[in-house]
Amino acid sequence: MASSHRPWWGGIVVNGAIRDSAVIDGMEFGVRALGTNPRKSSKSGAGEADVTVEFGGVRFVPGEYLLSDHDGVVVSRTPVES
């Protein structure tokens, strides 16, 4: 994940496991991950921003919109009103 601040972000989607889920759950933005893992990971600082990625059969394109709840995520090319 890039370290640049994106003020319009309401959350992130992680194609992997997260650690410290109780702390993350208390943050002011949403995090959706495949699971949790108590082991600390190594960090290499590698990553890219503003690139298209695909996982779980879904293509995530910069500039598109993602909405999520506890049941899953939806990606849309246009804003979706709740």
| Strand partners of residue 74 | 67
| 50 neighbors 61 (Cβ within 8 angstroms) | no
Was 39 annotated as part of a binding site?
no
Q: Which of 2, 57, 62, 10 is nearest to 32 (CA)?
A: 10
Was 25 annotated as part of a binding site?
no
Annotated binding site for Mg(2+): 20
Residues making up the annotated binding site for substrate are 19
Q: Could you tell me which residues are annotated as the binding site?
A: 19-20
